[in-house]
Chain A
Amino acid sequence: MRRSFAAEWLKLRHSRIGIAITVLPVISLLIGCANYALNREVLVNGWYSLWTQVSLFYGEFFLPMLVAIVCAYACRLEHMNRNWNMVLTAPVPAGSVFWAKWAVSALLVLAAQALFMALYWAAGLLLKMPGPFPAETIGWALRGWYACLSICALQLSLSIRIRSFAVPVGFSLAAVLAGLGLYVAGKGVYFPHSLLTIGMHALNQEPLDPRSELLFWIMNPAYALLLAGWSVRGLKRRDVATA
């Protein structure tokens, strides 16, 4: 597993995926801050109002799509030049291949979340927010990342099966809407993309009730394990399609 992880990390060298991870949080923050600054007389809840502006579009729409791009990127090299044949004949279990990709994707998403939080803090200072920095927003960002772990598993499953880079990202856009629909219908804890909405507190800053809280912590690893099992089974049994 450690060697698979090191190999995945090595493949990301000079890949410029960092540009994608940087640009999106920056633009989300800039637009959120501009909207906050223009509507300051209505948004009177200080740091929390700023959070609603910066996290709404980022957490609801663009973070899941960023996860999809990162996961598609993690499988991009394998889909080229018959590299799946090489990977699957390497002396490592198929499970290690999947979990290494998942761990690298999760780390990249964590980096995006850390950048997002650093920018949020800097924007708050620049906009001269009253009161101290709300520590719970760090928890919300981490919970958002935790929810991204199941989305990573879902997107990796799609990206491993689908040769195209773009199609899994398209699925992600459709899944975002399905997640929003389920969140509005009160069934958010049963779908990975709405678990992200819940975790990031993008639409509602109220704490979860104990049942939803428990389901949030259980459903994410359950989805990740289920989807990982499906993917690893596919890697072991399916014939590799080459161009």
Chain B
Amino acid sequence: MRALKLEFYKIRRKKIVLMILLLLAAEMMWAFMSTSVSISRNPDHAVWASILFTTASLNGLFMPMMTAIIVSRLCDMEHKGSTWKLLGALDVSRGRLYAAKYGCAAVLLLLAVVLQAMLMTAFGFMQGFADKLPAEWLVRYIGGTLLVSLAAASVQQWISMTVRNQAFALCLGMLGSFVGLTGGLFPEAVRRWLIWAHYMDLSPVTIRYADHVATFVTQALPPDIAAFTAGTAAACFLFGGLHAARKEI
């Protein structure tokens, strides 16, 4: 816990939260504009599912990049300040240091996802959506988005920690965004292996097209995809931690 507190202490002037807010503002403005246009064209879309679906689909583009930026900043400050040796000399295992950085990234990502949920709620009330606020959907949305982001963060942290040059970590984040954005184009058999494409899969609502009409439908939590994402997060965290702990500084 002390290690986690110190991670937050180290980033107190890094303006990481400001960066998160900037990216969230861009994403949510796009989501709100897109949903507003959709509602003006089809009043049946004035439901909570529409904003949840739009935001989940945009998360494929934004969250991998946001995750890459957060994790890269947390690790790059140690690379730039050449403080790995100092940290390594402390009476704290490297595994705990690795876990503290991951915990810090997880809290920041949770903050981003909860903020998204709050903004969606505010938008829904402002638009006067006819149906009741679906608290269960929001909880599932937060859980699903966070799970995928944590899996992406575990991959990013592995790269950001072990490769000093952050261009590689950022390129991976960019490729993650690319996969997240185009995930819907992949066949199901391919998509299930790409963690960045799971934002839509773990969303509580999806869209179905029939006779050129789009309808929002509830989708059950796919246990295989959720398990694969959680497994990837755990495996990458474990192997990344081991790799970082054994690597010579």
Binding site for B on A (CB under 8 A): 16-17, 19-20, 23-24, 27-28, 31, 34-35, 38, 57, 61-62, 65-66, 69, 72-73, 76, 79-80, 163-167, 169-171, 173-174, 177-178, 180-181, 243
Are B170 and A166 in contact, CB atoms less than 8 angstroms apart?
yes
Q: A20-B167, A174-B22 are in contact. Are A62 and B178 (CB under 8 A)?
A: yes
A173 adjacent to B65 (CB under 8 Å): yes
Closest chain A residue, CB of each to CB of B27 = A177
A166 is contacted by which of B27, B72, B181 (Cβ under 8 Å)?
A: B72
Known: A69-B171, A181-B30. A169 touches B182 (CB 8 A): no
Majority DSSP secondary structure for residues of B touching A = helix
Number of A-B contacts (CB under 8 A): 102
The 8 closest A-B CB pairs, nearest first, are A166-B72, A165-B166, A166-B69, A174-B26, A177-B26, A170-B69, A20-B171, A243-B81
Task: Collect the chain B residues with CB atoms within 8 Å of residue A73's CB.
Answer: 167
Q: Do A24 and B175 form a contact, CB below 8 Å, given A35-B185, A57-B181?
A: yes
Contact at B170–A173, with CB atoms within 8 Å? no
B111 to chain A, nearest CB (A): 16
Q: How far is the CA of A180 from the CA of B69 in the complex (A)?
A: 22
Contacts of B61 in A (CB 8 A): 61
Question: Shortest beta-carbon distance, A170 to chain B, in Å?
Answer: 5
Contacts A24-B175, A69-B171 hold; do A166 and B26 have CB atoms under 8 A apart?
A: no
CA distance A13 to B88 in the complex (A): 31
Residue on B nearest A176 in the bound complex, by CB: B26
A166 touches B68 (CB 8 A): yes
Write the nearest CB–CB distance from B63 to chain A, whole angstroms: 11
Tell me the bound Cα distance from A171 to B66 in angstroms. Answer: 11
Q: List 16 A-B contacts (CB under 8 A).
A: A20-B171, A24-B174, A24-B178, A27-B175, A35-B182, A62-B178, A69-B171, A165-B72, A165-B167, A166-B72, A167-B69, A169-B65, A169-B174, A174-B23, A174-B25, A243-B81
Contact of A76 among B30, B68, B81, B165 (CB under 8 A): B165
Q: A169 CA to B27 CA in the complex, in Å?
A: 15
Residues of A within 8 A of B80 (CB): 79-80, 163, 243
Closest Cβ–Cβ distance, residue B20 to chain A (whole Å) = 9
- Is B192 an interface position by the 8 A CB rule? no
In the assembled complex, the Cα of A72 lies from the Cα of B66 at a distance in Å of 17
Cβ < 8 Å to A, chain B residues 34-76: 61-62, 65-66, 68-69, 72-73, 76
Q: Which residues of A contact B69 (CB under 8 A)?
A: 166-167, 169-170
Question: Pick the contact of B26 from A38, A163, A178 — CB < 8 Å?
Answer: A178
Distance in angstroms from B110 CB to nearest chain A CB is: 19
Neighbouring A residues of B65 by C-beta, 8 Å: 65, 169-170, 173
CB of B232 within 8 A of chain A? no
| Nearest-neighbor residue (CB-CB) of A17 within chain B | B167
Which residues of chain B have C-beta atoms less than 8 A from A16's C-beta?
Answer: 165
